[in-house]
Copies of this chain bind each other. A is one copy, B any other.
Amino acid sequence: METTTTVREQILDHAITLIMLRGYNGFSYRDLSSLVGVKTSSIHYYFPSKDDLVLEAVSEYSKEVLNALHAVDASLSADAKLSKYAKLFGRTLGDGNQICLCGMLAADIESLPDTIRQAVQAFFKANESWLAKVLAQGAQEGTLAVNGKPDNAARALFAAFQGSVLAARLFHTKARLEDVEASVRIAR
């Protein structure tokens, strides 16, 4: 099957990859130009400013991740759901030393306009709320160790995942992600 990929889509995909690798200030239209094979002026045709491009990158990335979360089988046990989540978070790491796009942009947030901040905030909230449900389920099942209220614990857990991909890439090991998973899983 032949999948048609428009130039616009290629630009956006490579932009997402580059942001996850080097951050907002670490890639340029020229980088995209050589990756996609069109001139920088053509990129400006699709995305007039860099902020336009990044905002769309956040939207696209968020859509993909949230779709993946929604696709997790609701009938699974809480600790199984958490494993899926950890795998999702670590996937990009192995392929190319990338971290979560929204975690990266959170680091770059002081260089970015408010529109992007809001989009990144929305991504954080969606993940935290998904994790809160999983933690609540895990507490009820007795499969996950939840200290305090699920909402608070979910925010702490999401932060731990964000921090752990940073460390995983820094140390070239996925073990850091497993540490986070282990910190809430009840040993059997």
Interface of A toward B, CB cutoff 8 Å: 21-23, 25-26, 97, 99, 103-104, 106-111, 117, 120-121, 124, 145, 147-148, 152-153, 155-164, 166-167, 169-171, 176, 179-180, 182-187
Number of identical protomers: 2
- Secondary structure of the A side of the interface? helix
Contacts of A187 in B (CB 8 A): 148
User: Which single residue of chain B is at the shortest CB-CB distance from A183?
Assistant: B156
A155 and B170 in contact (CB under 8 A), knowing A21-B110, A22-B111, A25-B23? no
Question: Which of B110, B152, B163 interacts with A162 by CB under 8 Å?
Answer: B163
A106 and B147 in contact (CB under 8 A), knowing A22-B111, A160-B160, A163-B158? no
Q: How far is the CB of A105 from chain B (nearest CB, A)?
A: 9
